[in-house]
Amino acid sequence: MHGGRPAARGEFHIVVALFDVRTGLRLTGADVSARVSEIGLAGSQKTLSPMQIAGAETYGNYFEMLGSGPFRINLTIRLRDRTQDIKAEFEERLK
């Protein structure tokens, strides 16, 4: 999975599952990328690779998140049948 589990501490696996808000059906075949950064820093951007979890398509990759954060996770999702990307932003603090 994504080249194997990283040996370094501070590496976290981000997993994204996509659903249609109207139907509740799982969305597949998307191009998903994420940028993970501490607030105020550039961070790193990676493609989230498609992967199967319990027979359903999800997207994921490992990101370095050193310290307790807060970390900002910015997602960009491109669906085949849409002309505009979907963007979402989350904030995470590690314990």
Q: pLDDT of the chain along its 95 residues, tens only?
A: 556 666 567 888 999 999 999 999 999 999 999 999 998 888 999 999 999 998 899 999 999 988 778 999 999 999 988 899 999 999 988 87
Q: Is residue 5 part of a domain?
A: no
pLDDT number for residue 93: 87
pLDDT number for residue 63: 93
Q: Is residue 3 part of a domain?
A: no
pLDDT number for residue 4: 61
User: Which amino acid type is present at position 52?
Assistant: Q
Q: Is residue 2 part of a domain?
A: no
Domain count, the chain: 1
pLDDT number for residue 58: 96
Report the predicted TM-score, pTM, of the whole model to 2 decimal places: 0.84
Range of the domain at 19: 11-92
